[in-house]
Chains A and B, each alone.
Chain A
Amino acid sequence: MHRLLKLGLLSALAALAGCDSPETKNAGIEAQLPDLDPFPSTYQAPPSEPLLIRNATVLTGAGEQLDGTDVLTVDGKIQQVGQNLAAPANGRTIDASGKWLTPGLIDVHSHMGVYPAPATSNHADGNEMTSPVTADVWAEHSIWPQDPQFEKALAGGVTTAHILPGSANLIGGRGVTVKTVPSVTVQGLKFPGAPYSLKMACGENPKRVYGGKGSAPSTRMGNMAGYRSSWIDAAAYKRDWQEYLDKVEQNDPEAKAPKRDLKLETLMGVLDGQIRIHNHCYRADEMAQMIDMSKEFGYTIAAFHHAVEAYKVAPLLAQHDICAVMWADWWGFKQEAFDMVRENIALVDFANACAILHSDDETQIQRLNQELAKAMAAGNEMGLAISRAEALRWITLNPARSLGIDAVTGSIAAGKNADLVLWSTDPFSVYAKAEKVWIDGALRFDRSQPQLNPTSDFNLGILTPAEDRP
């Protein structure tokens, strides 16, 4: 076992056994524990020179607008945010007068790579529609890193994306957080240290997919029965491991590790608080049911996705610290999306709940800033007086929080990763463009140098032998 892997095991041991310290040792038997990180990230930021971005209008992502402000990055981190900062000795300085600087945008709901372009059936790997509970599948095993959608998201200022399985299943599998960088392997995209998520789905999709095949679930009550019986199995599995660890702790020679079950291992990770629930759920009443169920089994929900009716239960979401992940205006494609209001995000924010704007879409991920602008404008039209600085949180710090990566990205603050976007003008304008995008201090997109920007293998020579896809 290599080191990273061992660290995972120790933390699992600590969590499972309820020990005070991962240093816990025992004299005789060593616990045989599963590797919790078998596909570790191999992402490494390329070396970058110190960079001073001078005199920008900075939206920090944490609710502030700082006019005429400088940002200094060193070794891939934001070192300083302030005015009249000294230029680094052996670095670059960019004059950002008239331009706007934001953190790299975060899309908390994407299917890039698992539903890539071209959208053909041979590449459609986002829904394991063979069983309503597939907690054992991992989205990262479906991602095609050459999906040309990644570079378009990057060009729109998205530096971090959370890739989820689809919503056909009650429990659809693990999601993964990635950086929008070119890579031949999926491991090379994975956001180091980001926790795993688990996709669950309420409502119409699971009951349509399985009800249509004449199997369970075919109703919303069938949906609930499906989740609950899964959590009961997970609790039993966790008990088995607990008993095993207790025996190990007591040096019991009878200690025998339970047989690994990939489904239950993931569900146990949720019960242990290591895997975060990202739950596709449109209707207000279903969100309330899911919250009660989480209490029944003792886990927490990070976010409800799509959440078209979040405005109806915003205080409940605030009370339970659950984020609502929403579109600016999508509606009407099914019954559970019929009660959309364009003020949804603004109203959730008004109720002091965690509001997030997502794309779930290959077109919108390229311009999350415009979607944000619409959501803010709808709120302001009804009189909520939302500033740009406050609204920007919905696509930066709030999604970072829901993904458990807010300590390292999601805002412009000293010590955080230098994930930055320089905008040609006010990013709330339809005419604004991301001019430069840095990830961990490395310039990954530069509109003025198209020949240097990433292009997927798929694009080469596809229109004519000498041309790349535009």
Chain B
Amino acid sequence: MKYALQFLLALVCLGVNDSLAESLLLKGAKVVTASEAGIYEQADILIEAGRISGVGQALTPPTGARVIDVSGKVIAPGFFNADTQLGIAEIGAIESTVDSTTENPRITASLRVADAINTSSTLIPYNRILGLTHTLVQPVSGKGLFAGTAAVINLGRQGQIIETQDAAMVAYLGETGQALAGGSRAAAMALLREAIEDTRDYASNREQFTRGERRPYTLSRHDLEALVPVVAGELPLIVHVHRAADITRVLQLGRDYQLQLILAGVEEGWRVADQIAAQQVPVIIDPIVNLPLAYETLGARLDNAKLLHAAGVTLLFTGMSWQNTHNAFLVRQSAGNAVANGLPYEAAIAALSANPARVFGIDGYGELKAGARATLVVWSSDPLEVTSVVEKVLIDGDDIPLVSRATRLRDRYYRRLQAIQSSGS
């Protein structure tokens, strides 16, 4: 049986990590490059020393290269989910395993999720063998409008999975911000302006502050330090915001303070898509969201992605729905539904790969082209199709065994069920 073979191969491969050094030629797949080259109906990919050295027709493998015929398959970049708690949440209801947020009001912007990421989390192998190779790990709102800094990680097994420890600052407005600020969206905006202006003042007067010669600030010194690159326009500020009117006000704030904004949530983005596009602000959305689950998402609709893209907004995807962490890989199902509702196919692929790579500056990831990192997935068929399955995952050239805690459980019980059936018959 196919699964049994995979299991044996996995045992052989576990702990043996020599696939990095070898050269590998993947022959004859359809290649979805997420680059300017678009989609090759049939092409080869040559991989050497963990990088792609060529994508094209009839490539010649170097001597000693492993050659795998993948004709009929589809190769795409490993996918990216732009809003997860991978590595900082093991079991949702067990607080001791969840580090995504703090109840401590002293720690807001200075919470750095990279400090808490568990590289041994079972969620990482589970999701990578289902086609997810990168994610933005975001903190969740605690006691302040700023939740802390998000990190970009890869889902590899090299130990060094954190790629950018401070990839963006995360803030919450909308209903969450309203509650945090004491019951008014206007109070949340006032707090945000105050924090920005305090940070500016602090940044230009650090020495006086240290000598105690500066007025008190609303945030701690560490929170202010974390915000300095944000107010300098160097670190993106992800703002979770939902309804159209709130989006407009956040965009205004971004212009007033020259912030490098990214919007998250954005269910009513389609109503103000032109404004978002004009300011060149990327958005992180789950395109499957279409219900008025809150009064701030009354305008949620399935063609939000299509309408935002048509207006020229850069899309990044998360999902699917609230299982965006344990099943972070399902972001591809959300993307498939975006395509089913009018988003061009390659725009959906870019939202899962090239766009987040560009927005967060992930060197060498996101496009399949010569020189890029060999982080890719071989799919049985269209990677956005729900029936497609993963056949091979490479992360920086590392050929990942398709094993996780869940596959181990499956195999254990399948063997038992088979034994029962054969003894019963």
* Option from A148, A331, A335, A367 in Cβ contact (under 8 Å) with B337: A367
Is A428 on the interface with B (CB-CB < 8 A)? Answer: yes
Q: Cβ of A148 and Cβ of B292 under 8 Å apart? A: yes
Q: Mind listing 23 A-B residue pairs with CB under 8 Å?
A: A117-B291, A118-B293, A148-B291, A315-B420, A331-B326, A332-B90, A332-B325, A332-B326, A333-B91, A334-B92, A341-B410, A342-B410, A347-B414, A362-B293, A370-B337, A373-B386, A374-B333, A382-B3, A383-B3, A429-B386, A430-B339, A431-B339, A462-B298
With A and B bound together, what is the CA distance between A343 and B326 in angstroms?
16
* Option from B293, B388, B410 in Cβ contact (under 8 Å) with A119: B293
> Secondary structure of the A side of the interface?
loop
With A and B bound together, what is the CA distance between A382 and B2 in angstroms?
7
Q: Cβ of B291 and Cβ of A383 under 8 Å apart? A: no
| Interface range, A side | 35 or more
Is A152 on the interface with B (CB-CB < 8 A)? Answer: yes
Is B320 on the interface with A (CB-CB < 8 A)? Answer: yes
With A and B bound together, what is the CA distance between A111 and B219 in angstroms?
42
When C-beta atoms are compared, the residue in chain A nearest to B391 turns out to be: A381
Beta-carbon contacts under 8 Å, B338-372 to A:
339-340
| Chain A residues whose CB sits within 8 angstroms of the CB of B337 once the complex forms | 367, 370, 430
| Chain B residues whose CB sits within 8 angstroms of the CB of A297 once the complex forms | none
Chain A CB count within 10 A is highest, among B301, B330, B333, B388, for B333
Report the minimal beta-carbon distance from B363 to chain A, rounded to whole angstroms: 31
Is B384 on the interface with A (CB-CB < 8 A)? Answer: yes
| Chain B residues whose CB sits within 8 angstroms of the CB of A341 once the complex forms | 406-407, 409-410, 413
Residues of B in contact (CB 8 Å), total 48
Is B226 on the interface with A (CB-CB < 8 A)? Answer: no
Is A39 on the interface with B (CB-CB < 8 A)? Answer: no
- Using a Cβ cutoff of 8 Å, how many contacts connect chains A and B? 140
Q: A117-B291, A118-B294, A311-B413 are in contact. Are A377 and B321 (CB under 8 A)?
A: no
- Contacts from B to A (Cβ < 8 Å): 1-3, 90-94, 123, 271, 288-295, 298-299, 301, 320-321, 323, 325-327, 330, 333, 336-337, 339-340, 384-389, 406-407, 409-410, 413-414, 417, 420-421
Chain B CB count within 10 A is highest, among A329, A339, A361, for A329
With A and B bound together, what is the CA distance between A433 and B341 in angstroms?
10
| Chain B residues whose CB sits within 8 angstroms of the CB of A367 once the complex forms | 337
| Chain B residues whose CB sits within 8 angstroms of the CB of A470 once the complex forms | 290, 299, 301
18 further A-B pairs in the complex, CB-CB below 8 A; given A363-B320, A377-B389, A463-B271: A117-B292, A148-B292, A311-B410, A315-B420, A330-B326, A330-B327, A332-B90, A334-B92, A338-B91, A343-B410, A347-B417, A381-B2, A382-B410, A428-B386, A429-B385, A430-B333, A430-B339, A431-B339
Report the minimal beta-carbon distance from A99 to chain B, rounded to whole angstroms: 16
When C-beta atoms are compared, the residue in chain B nearest to A329 turns out to be: B327
The 8 closest A-B pairs by CB, nearest first: A332-B326, A430-B336, A334-B93, A333-B92, A470-B301, A382-B3, A377-B387, A341-B410
Report the minimal beta-carbon distance from B248 to chain A, rounded to whole angstroms: 15
| Chain A residues whose CB sits within 8 angstroms of the CB of B336 once the complex forms | 430-431
With A and B bound together, what is the CA distance between A148 and B289 in angstroms?
14
| Chain B residues whose CB sits within 8 angstroms of the CB of A332 once the complex forms | 90-92, 123, 325-326
Report the minimal beta-carbon distance from A407 to chain B, rounded to whole angstroms: 31
